[in-house]
Structure 1
Amino acid sequence: MEAILKRRSIRQFTNQPIAQDDLNTLLRAAMMAPTARNCQEWEFVVVRNKETFKKMMHVHPYAKMLEQADCAIIVCGNTQREHAPGYWMADCGAATQNILLAATSLGIGSVWLGVYPNEERMKGLSQLLGLPDYVKPLNIIALGYPAEKKEEVDRFDPAKIHTEKW
């Protein structure tokens, strides 16, 4: 619960690099997420090149924090591996959440930048990263050590809970 309660979107980062072991931990956490029929249709593109970040910022208008990020993970769905159309989005969303929570537990800041279902962003990112047609980008996760501190927020709302029926 600690990582869940502390996780916040961080958009300002220090220049401290993320160790490869920690990055591997984040990717391992991603691959521990559940998937429909255990298809594991996720694919990950890890980017650390600052020139690529600049190009990504042109593709995604809300990705300016990449200027300060140490690295980014682009979470993608391999549609050739899904058992039915559309499941890749939920499965890759679960992998994304695991990355965000693992990052928080390691003291690494992160923010989820939505790509899917924006066709322009998907096409631009796919071209930039050389993704095959059957691999669809869901999001970009910017990562780095936080240069900002955000307070915990309690979003629990009993009004959103319905028992047995609406």
Structure 2
Amino acid sequence: MKEIFARRSIRKYKKQKISEKMIQKILQSGMAAPSAGNEQPWHFIVITSNELKQEIAKVHPYSDMLPDAPAAILVCGDTKKTNHGEFWIQDCSAATENMLLMITSLGLGGVWVGVYPRKKRVQGIKELLDLPDNIIPFSIIPFGYPDDTKKPHDRYLKERVHYNQW
């Protein structure tokens, strides 16, 4: 799957709108992620409001690319769907990565912007979007047509691979 190696963090976007069909495909790929006990403890908020993107950028110190992205998806964990404990974190991570791979597959670019576990970011975004207590903002994925090109990068490090013992 070439998207695994082609996916790069893209932070500059063209001012071209993203179709609803593309957004739905991205969301479907997130929901196709594996989850502990098949709990699927995620919710996704599609963000297209320029005003909201600017407000989030004021709360999150590393989201300066967000206002320029045509769209973003906020991935949230639902603590009411967590019979397997803290595995919602891995589940939301898998959903985030699936969506980044689909974004790449569609010829778009995106970047993973972490929210959880930074308390100030979590609280600020919860307040901005009026999230219920059981919903925890996990990551934001700004995306759009790339206005930046990055070549695939081989990150394989042989010295980090161990067989059967350290």
- TM-score scaled to structure 2, two decimals? 0.98
Counterpart position of 2:35: 35
When structure 1 is superposed on structure 2, of 154-163 and 93-102 the one drifting more is 154-163
Three-state SS of the structure 1 residue aligned to 2:110 is: strand
Structure 1 CA distance for aligned equivalents of residues 39 and 67 of structure 2: 34
Q: CA RMSD in A?
A: 0.7
Letter in 1 for 2:47: V
Percent identity, aligned pairs only, is 43
Counterpart position of 2:65: 65
Structure 1 spans left out of the alignment, 5+ residues:
none
Counterpart position of 1:92: 92
Structure 2 CA distance for aligned equivalents of residues 11 and 140 of structure 1: 12
Residue 67 of structure 1: CA displacement? 2.1
Structure 2 CA distance for aligned equivalents of residues 64 and 129 of structure 1: 18
Three-state SS of the structure 2 residue aligned to 1:139 is: strand
Structure 1 CA distance for aligned equivalents of residues 42 and 111 of structure 2: 19
Q: CA deviation digits over 1:98-140, x for unaligned, max 9? A: 0000000001110000101100000000111111111101111
Counterpart position of 2:46: 46
Residue 34 of structure 1: CA displacement? 0.2
Query: 1:95-114, aligned counterparts within 5 Å?
Result: 95-114=95-114
Letter in 2 for 1:48: T
Q: 4+ residue runs of structure 1 moved beyond 2 angstroms?
A: none
Residue 84 of structure 1: CA displacement? 2.7
Counterpart position of 1:23: 23
Letter in 2 for 1:145: Y
Counterpart position of 2:132: 132
When structure 1 is superposed on structure 2, of 93-102 and 155-164 the one drifting more is 155-164
Residue 12 of structure 1: CA displacement? 0.3
The question of 1:163 aligning with 2:163 is answered yes
Residue 165 of structure 1: CA displacement? 1.3
Q: CA deviation digits over 1:117-166, x for unaligned, max 9? A: 10000000011111111110111100110000001100011111111111
Letter in 2 for 1:37: G
Three-state SS of the structure 1 residue aligned to 2:28 is: helix
**How many residues get paired?**
166
Three-state SS of the structure 1 residue aligned to 2:85 is: coil
